[in-house]
């Protein structure tokens, strides 16, 4: 991991800035920029080339390449510590995020699924699995996704509140089938997706992590039966309503929607890197589209929670609905 103090580059010649930006864009290691002052416009090539830039609160938060933090130097040290815990996963994520924003949805999902499947066979994921121990899911009766049609609107609800709507294989299949109905029926003009109980979706079901026997088959299934791909295709018709939390797959698929509405107390979090994985539900495609790859990298590498207000400022959500909390 490298650190680039942007303050030291304010008076640098344009040719030197361009040369350094080209070098960083073509390098494998992650590079974290640090800015305690507003970088001048001519440093934009550097801002775009680094993995992300941590910036003091007084620095403009309107620039998507900047991640506002209380103390950039302290935050950089903490991020470096987290990366050191999962160095291979972090490097894979850094390279993946340089690709996916430039690709169309299917190509981006294919790149993400390939990286995810590769890391399933890696030592960092194996270490996380060993620390987690064995989890067994209790049998569940009845549908995990409820669908209701009313005139031109299709309402879809994740209904596994006892597991915080964790996305297991069966729920994913039921969600795919529900969205497929909207995809083939042109008379459905609106699709509303939410979750039963206090949490929209807590991410993938941890009891199913590490159970794939064939990683190539898992890669193909992740592409072919991806509900988030259908959300993207239907995006102009889809509204997702998040209450409580959208973690991992929850925020990844929600970010594909044309409209994402949050309750005021909700938070958004991408914890996969700490598990030795990259996001696997389209997050390296959907989240950078909304907030830029630099803030997406920060969310994924740090695993930090993003509160609803910040999510709105960044464009991760489109609206905060104060009635949705009730």
pLDDT in tens, 240-276: 999 999 999 999 999 999 999 999 999 999 999 999 9
Tell me: pLDDT of 326 over 80: no
- Can you give the pLDDT at residue 141? 83
Query: What's residue 236's pLDDT?
Result: 97
Mean pLDDT score, 213-222: 86
pLDDT tens digits, one per residue of 99-143: 999 999 999 999 999 999 999 999 999 999 999 888 877 778 899
Helices (H), the chain: 14-25, 44-49, 72-85, 87-99, 105-120, 123-132, 169-184, 215-224, 227-233, 249-254, 283-302, 308-314
Segment 1-20, tens digit of pLDDT: 899 999 999 999 999 999 99
At 198, phi and psi to the nearest 5? Answer: -80, -10
| Pick from 14-23, 124-133, 212-221, 297-306: least confident | 212-221
**Predicted pLDDT at 325:** 56
- The tens digit of pLDDT for each residue in 53-62 reads 999 988 877 7
């Amino acid at each position: 991991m490298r650190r680039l103090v942007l303050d030291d580059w304010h008076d640098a010649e344009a040719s030197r800035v361009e040369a350094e930006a080209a070098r960083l864009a073509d390098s494998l290691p992650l590079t974290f920029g640090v800015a305690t002052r507003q970088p001048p416009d001519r440093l934009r090539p550097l801002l775009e080339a680094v993995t992300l830039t941590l910036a003091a609160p007084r620095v403009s938060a309107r620039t998507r390449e900047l991640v506002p933090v209380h103390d950039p130097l302290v935050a950089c040290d903490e991020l470096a510590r987290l990366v050191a815990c999962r160095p291979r996963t972090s490097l894979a994520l850094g390279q993946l995020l340089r690709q996916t924003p430039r690709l169309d949805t299917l190509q981006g999902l294919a790149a993400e699924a390939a990286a995810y499947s590769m890391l399933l066979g890696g030592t960092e994921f194996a270490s996380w699995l060993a620390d987690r121990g064995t989890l067994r899911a209790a049998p569940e009766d009845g549908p995990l996704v409820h669908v209701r049609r009313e005139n031109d609107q299709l309402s879809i609800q994740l209904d596994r509140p006892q597991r915080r709507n964790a996305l297991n294989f069966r729920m994913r299949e039921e969600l795919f089938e529900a969205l497929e109905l909207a995809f083939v029926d042109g008379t459905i003009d609106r699709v509303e997706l939410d979750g039963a109980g206090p949490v929209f979706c807590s991410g993938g079901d941890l009891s199913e992590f590490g159970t794939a026997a064939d990683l190539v088959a898992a890669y193909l299934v992740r592409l072919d039966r991806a509900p988030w791909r259908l959300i993207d295709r239907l995006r102009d018709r889809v509204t997702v309503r998040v209450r409580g939390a959208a973690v991992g797959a929850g925020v990844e698929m929600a970010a594909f929607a044309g409209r994402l509405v949050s309750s005021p107390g909700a938070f958004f979090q991408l914890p996969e890197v700490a598990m030795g994985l990259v996001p696997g539900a389209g997050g390296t495609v959907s989240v950078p589209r909304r907030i830029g790859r630099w803030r997406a990298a920060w969310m994924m590498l740090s695993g930090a929670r993003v509160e609803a207000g910040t999510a709105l400022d960044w464009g991760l959500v489109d609206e905060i609905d104060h009635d949705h909390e009730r």
